[in-house]
Structure 1
Amino acid sequence: MTVDGAGPVESRDEREGAGFFLNVPEKLDDPFPDLAYFREKRPVFFHKGLGQWFVFRYEDVAALFSDPRLSADRMKGFVDAAPASVRDDLRLVAPYLEMFALMNDEPDHSRLRKFLRLGFNPQKIRALRGDIQRIADELLDRVEERGRRVDVSEDYGFLLPAYVLSDFMGFPEEDRGRVLQWSLDFIGFFNVVPITAETTRSMVESAREMIFYTRELLEERRREPRDDFLGLLANVKTDEVSEDEIVANAMLLLLAGHVAPRNLIGNTVYLLLTHPEQFELLRDEPGLLRGALEESLRYEPPVTLIPRIALEDFEFGGERIRAGQIVQLSIASANRDERRFTDPDRFDITKKPGGALSFGHGPHGCLGALLAMQEAEISLQTLLRRMPDIRLDEEREIVWYRNAANRGPESLPLVF
């Protein structure tokens, strides 16, 4: 049953109200039973409390990623969803966030993506392999100097992509810590549902600092040219993209490339160590590493939800979606859809890879997917070569980073 202008009445099951997996923190550890329920019973579901739609089946999620009736321009939705006490602060930086390529529809999306590809193309990304290997070895050198314990998330999985991207962009090495904190503040704002005053204030402060900081570095590159990505951006013709768009998308690239690769690295290590038969397969056949990463992406996607905004009223899955409503596309559910994947709740690195929606789909597919996979592959090859006997540290607790849109270990202690 549907209430005109509001969405379906919530009364069928405890999961569809107070028991909804996003309302119960404990369920974030294992939302998959709820996701299976919704895939089967309520594949297109309106959560009255959040005022948002959720879409759960693979075919529907893939279709909506490319549906022109949905917009990626969701900053207004974030502003409206923020607590009233911080909306004015948020509006100060929102114009920059609205210029992110991932927040734009056509034709601006293709224009911005084209300019980002100038320095973020496959050839340049593959040329980073040596830098990634060097940073991986440096980080593990530090670990080995300290003893026989490693936190594969804190000491390795988070720092490696942050350092690679900072060096690639041309940020000074001494500023890596600032960049990491800015990234965490942005992730907290965009991925915690519902939005809080605390996450908004932290993000706004970081955004203001980063706008000023990025402008300074671009001006420095114009005075003293250098062969890095900031140097390339500093010389982009401003009749193709504005100065503000350059600043905004330099921020985007730096912010988008830390937490998801950390989650991918940490999830893969955790899944291998908790599925010892799969770990033995990988040890016997190192060529299965790519398959292990693909299966990890499917089974435990680093990013679990992607929001879109309805541009018009339309019917979908037997429901009436209204213009302006948020539509959350559930990657975590789509990747476990039994209609698309055989035995989807089993982690198996020998499965034929492909099809997972973990890097998005359609025109907004993740620009950094190649880099993330390259970082994960090199980091795991290096870890397993140098520490082949890694195992979970039973004396220390695993701390999970799990919210509405992220899944991964924030702290994954190992011994070797």
Structure 2
Amino acid sequence: MSNAPHFDIDVPAFWADPYPALARMRREAPIAFVPQLGSTVFTRRDDIFTQEKRIDVFSSHQPAGLMNTLMGHNMMRKDGDAHMKERAAMFPSVSPRTVRDTWIRQFQAHADRILDELAPRGRTDLAKAFALPLSAECLKDITGLTNIRFQDMDAWSQAMIDGIANYSGDKAVEARCHAATAGIDAAIDDMVPVVKKHPNSSILSVLLAAAQPMESVRANIKLAISGGQNEPRDAISGTVWALLTHPDQLALVRAGKAKWLDVFEEYARWIAPIGMSPRRVARHWSYGGVDFEPEDRVFFMFGSANRDEACFARPDDFDITRDTQKSIAFGAGPHYCAGAFASRAMVADVALPSIFKRLNGLRLDHSEPVRIGGWAFRGLLNLPVMWDGAQHS
């Protein structure tokens, strides 16, 4: 049992809004054992930034962890050379050069097509009608699974996310996750001969070209889907909502005083779409007055780190002019998100400028409240909007 101070949370309240409890932890017990999560939780940014890199202590290798048992042993759950080897094999598909030379054109084509269909309507749920299909269509291209529907991509991603956060052992959640991984395996099987005959820049194609074992190919494509759908999906709808509820910030972009990338980086700090990363304690370690024993479970709370008062002035404010260099929305150590370049391009270079260019007078539709939830993964559940007209692309 951890000797960290215990900190109790109300789980439904924490899901609805984790930030008040996290702020109390940063003040009172920055490294705390949370019984309701069965984990020791790190909440301060600098502690997470330094300790995430101690892979000899806080290991990503979690053989009995939910991600391994449900999705296969992917590179996120490996450390050292094993991690770097698989990361290097995948890199050609998500490198800045590939994003610039290949993916961004395809991202823009998807956005234009979706907006062509949406623009005449005058109102929609932008989370479901734009952010979800755009993220999924882009991810189909990146993974190489162009043989599936965007609805399947989103549903499978959500099922895996729910599965790997299923710490209470809900059998229905586990069953949905198994169904999703079986669907992905079938889609991979269908596409293997296609990309072998016609190689491309997709993850499936580059991993096969690198002669990765098939079990590794499957596990890493599932990893890409589990994080690569929800993070940009939630960032797109979240950044639009943030700008519509902070018109002064939108005015800065329209006046050329801030870039769309500034909006994306600040939103990812303010409401980190991936709010937590789990680790397994590999050996005895003492830090911050807390003793860690082998097989203890640790959660690095990125969402808390990005609102750490020691690093960010007025951290609860959405301010696109702030310096976000200390943000760790994409992680801090060797497991820094491999898809960060693609995500930035999708949101900042394509989605945001396209939406605000095409949908005149875009504003919230107050007939339905905006709902937001989650702490391990956090994002808008809906985004009802309306607009006056449309500009042609």
Specify if TM > 0.5.
yes
1:316, 1:214 → 2: CA distance? 44
2:262 aligned partner: 291
Structure 2 residue aligned with 1:71, among 59, 81, 84?
A: 59
The secondary structure found in structure 2 opposite 1:363 is coil
- Whichever residue aligns with residue 29 of structure 1, its letter is A
- Equivalences for residues 30-49 of structure 1 within 5 A: 30-49=17-36
Q: Is the 8 A contact 1:193 1:403 kept in 2?
A: no
1:244 aligned partner: 215
- Whichever residue aligns with residue 49 of structure 2, its letter is A
1:286, 1:130 → 2: CA distance? 26
1:179 aligned partner: 153
The Cα of 1:104 is off from its aligned counterpart by: 0.7
1:54 aligned partner: 41
2:391 aligned partner: none
Q: Is the 8 A contact 1:167 1:173 kept in 2?
A: no
Structure 1 residue aligned with 2:163, among 181, 184, 189?
A: 189
Matched, 1:282 2:253: yes
Matched, 1:132 2:119: no
- Whichever residue aligns with residue 141 of structure 1, its letter is D
Q: Is the 8 A contact 2:285 2:293 kept in 1?
A: yes
1:287-311 CA distance string (max 9 Å, x none): 4322121111111111111111100
2:284 aligned partner: 313
1:77, 1:247 → 2: CA distance? 17
Q: Is the 8 A contact 1:50 1:194 kept in 2?
A: no
2:341, 2:375 → 1: CA distance? 25
1:288, 1:301 → 2: CA distance? 19
The Cα of 1:275 is off from its aligned counterpart by: 1.6
1:117 aligned partner: 91
Q: TM-score, normalised by structure 2?
A: 0.91
The Cα of 1:31 is off from its aligned counterpart by: 2.2
Quick check: 243-252 or 381-390, which moved more? 243-252
Q: Is the 8 A contact 1:191 1:404 kept in 2?
A: no
1:183-210 CA distance string (max 9 Å, x none): 1111111235544222211111221232
1:174, 1:78 → 2: CA distance? 25
Alpha carbons of 1:322 and 1:114: their partners in 2 closer, same or farther (altered >3 Å)? same
Matched, 1:358 2:329: yes
Q: Is the 8 A contact 2:111 2:134 kept in 1?
A: yes
1:137-178 CA distance string (max 9 Å, x none): 111111123x10022211111211210121233323553332
Count of residue pairs the alignment pairs up: 383
Matched, 1:7 2:3: yes
2:184, 2:147 → 1: CA distance? 16
The secondary structure found in structure 2 opposite 1:54 is strand
1:112-158 CA distance string (max 9 Å, x none): 0010013222111112221111111111111123x100222111112
1:120, 1:52 → 2: CA distance? 33
1:272, 1:372 → 2: CA distance? 18
Matched, 1:395 2:367: yes
The secondary structure found in structure 1 opposite 2:124 is strand
- Whichever residue aligns with residue 47 of structure 1, its letter is V
1:36, 1:285 → 2: CA distance? 34
Q: Is the 8 A contact 2:17 2:374 kept in 1?
A: no
1:312-367 CA distance string (max 9 Å, x none): 12112101111111100111111111111122122211112321010011110000
1:382 aligned partner: 354
2:44, 2:131 → 1: CA distance? 30
1:29 aligned partner: 16
Structure 2 residue aligned with 1:273, among 232, 244, 254?
A: 244
- Whichever residue aligns with residue 216 of structure 1, its letter is D
2:297 aligned partner: 326
Structure 1 residue aligned with 2:206, among 217, 229, 232?
A: 232
Q: Is the 8 A contact 1:264 1:296 kept in 2?
A: yes
2:296, 2:60 → 1: CA distance? 12
2:106, 2:183 → 1: CA distance? 28
Alpha carbons of 1:373 and 1:393: their partners in 2 closer, same or farther (altered >3 Å)? same
The secondary structure found in structure 2 opposite 1:217 is helix
Alpha carbons of 1:8 and 1:168: their partners in 2 closer, same or farther (altered >3 Å)? closer
The secondary structure found in structure 1 opposite 2:376 is coil
The secondary structure found in structure 2 opposite 1:119 is helix
Alpha carbons of 1:30 and 1:255: their partners in 2 closer, same or farther (altered >3 Å)? closer
Q: Is the 8 A contact 2:41 2:298 kept in 1?
A: yes
Q: Is the 8 A contact 1:282 1:289 kept in 2?
A: yes
The secondary structure found in structure 2 opposite 1:33 is helix
1:45-67 CA distance string (max 9 Å, x none): 01234321001111101112111
Quick check: 149-158 or 166-175, which moved more? 166-175
Alpha carbons of 1:119 and 1:228: their partners in 2 closer, same or farther (altered >3 Å)? closer
The secondary structure found in structure 2 opposite 1:397 is coil
In structure 2, stretches of 5+ residues that fail to align are 388-393
The Cα of 1:278 is off from its aligned counterpart by: 1.6
- Whichever residue aligns with residue 23 of structure 2, its letter is A
2:63, 2:127 → 1: CA distance? 30
